[in-house]
Structure 1
Amino acid sequence: MFKTIVRTSLLLMIVCGLVYPLVVTGIANLTMPYQSQGSLIYNDKNEVIGSELIGQPFTSPGYFHSRVSSINYDASASGSNNYAPSNKDMIARTKKSIDEWQKRNPGQSLDQLPSDLITNSGSGLDPDITPKAALAQLPRIKSTTGLPEDQLKHLIQKHTQRKELGLFGEDRVNVLQLNLELAGLIQ
């Protein structure tokens, strides 16, 4: 009986721990190579500059800024503090985000400030912002880059991804892809 248990355990370890993962990985690489390799984005020199799936910090005034990240966009440790809106740390961090927004965007009203620009996502790695959040940044980007507002609005519309099947999720703009095209316009 002991031999049977050992053989069964070894067989299951090989099948479940080696064969199955290799087969699934192989199928994914054949059917969805871009996604299975991390949805990586490359520059002209074929160097990886990011992923469509992981947010990055943008602090230059001439670029669209991402959502706040409680983990500094460190993909090795995704997650966020699950604070209630009444939590003192959450209130302090949100006030700090509002103060930073006002410093970067002087003269803009807080009435139109989208919440995704001052709150973080559950993972801390969200690569997207709402179209409203992108539009709220137009005055700063327009004054920094000198690009016309209509051209910037068109750029946002071009990079707006609609709800899945028209029902699920929210309209969103991938900040990295938006900024890559913006960089091409200002150089």
Structure 2
Amino acid sequence: MIKHLRPAIVSFALLSLATGVLYPLLVTSGAQVLFPKQAAGSLIESKDGKLLGSELIGQNFTSPKYFWGRPSATAPMANNAGGSSGSNQGPLNPALADAVKSRIEALKVADPSNTLPIPADLVTASASGLDPHISMAAARYQAGRISRERLIPPKELQRLIDANTEARDLQVLGEPRVNVLKLNLALDAAKP
């Protein structure tokens, strides 16, 4: 019995060491050497070293002076990075329809003179609930409100949007998108 048990225990120990210690150590150290910013969470810090957020995790902006990101399904806290989740609500779910209707009303109340069509990404949550990006249409939809609130000429605001627009991945995957945190930080730098 021991003759058969010993090789199994040794194999288990070696495989546990290889897959549980050596491989993660190799991958983590390789990532830190090859991609230090991404391995550290793509964090954004102020000039004085204060942590402002991550490029990869959406933040909850509610002031009309800022661009708003996608709604989050990580209720009750908006954009709770510790609790990534989707709502699991299908298109026929009345709760989803009610949530979308209330988000549409909130957008109309915030900017009653806006006649542009409301982009879907401003009223529907992303799958993870933490999406840091909005579409170009969502940025354009909010531009009028931001321009009036901050007294920024529309052309200058469009320049900021363009400067914070990320291209398609590998030039073919996805759509151009705007990182909301970076854009709002650029707004604060331009007009505090």
Q: Given the two structures, how large is their TM-score scaled by the length of structure 1?
A: 0.96
Q: 1:165 & 1:73 partners in 2: Cα distance?
A: 27
Return the match for 1:168 from 164, 170, 173: 173
**SS of the residue 2:44 aligns to:** strand
> Which residue of structure 2 lines up, in the alignment, with residue 9 of structure 1?
12
Please give the per-residue CA displacement for 1:118-166, whole angstroms capped at 9, x wherever unaligned. 1110000000001110011111111110010000011111111111232
Residue of structure 2 in register with 1:117 after alignment? 122
Give the 5 Å matches for 1:1-40.
Answer: 1-40=4-43
Unaligned runs of 5+ in 1: none
Unaligned runs of 5+ in 2: none
Q: Distance in 2 between matches of 1:165 and 1:124?
A: 24
| CA distance in structure 1 between the aligned counterparts of 2:124 and 2:21, rounded to whole angstroms | 41
Deviations 1:90-124 (A, max 9, x none): 00100110111111111212x51111111110000
Count residues with an aligned counterpart.
186
Question: Which AA in structure 1 matches 2:114?
Answer: Q
**Who is 1:63 aligned against?**
66
Q: Match for residue 44 of structure 1? A: 47
The aligned counterpart of 1:105 is 111
Aligned-partner Cα distance in 2 for 1:154–1:87: 39
Runs in 1 of length 4+ with deviation above 2 angstroms? none
Shift of 1:175: 0.3
How many Å separate the matches in 1 of 2:179 and 2:86?
20
Q: Letter of the 1:140 partner, please give it.
A: R
Q: Secondary structure at the residue paired with 2:139?
A: helix
CA RMSD of aligned residues (A): 1.0
Query: What is the TM-score with the length of structure 2 in the denominator?
Result: 0.94
Measured in 1, the distance between the counterparts of 2:169 and 2:10 equals 47
Letter in 1 for 2:95: D
| 2:141 matches 1:136 | yes
Match of 1:85 among 91, 96, 102: 91
CA distance in 1: counterparts of 2:7 and 2:186, whole angstroms: 61
Partner Cα distance (1:8, 1:47) in 2: 47
SS at match of 1:50: strand
Letter of the structure 2 residue corresponding to residue 51 of structure 1: S
Q: Percent identity?
A: 38
Deviation at 1:59, TM superposition (A): 0.7
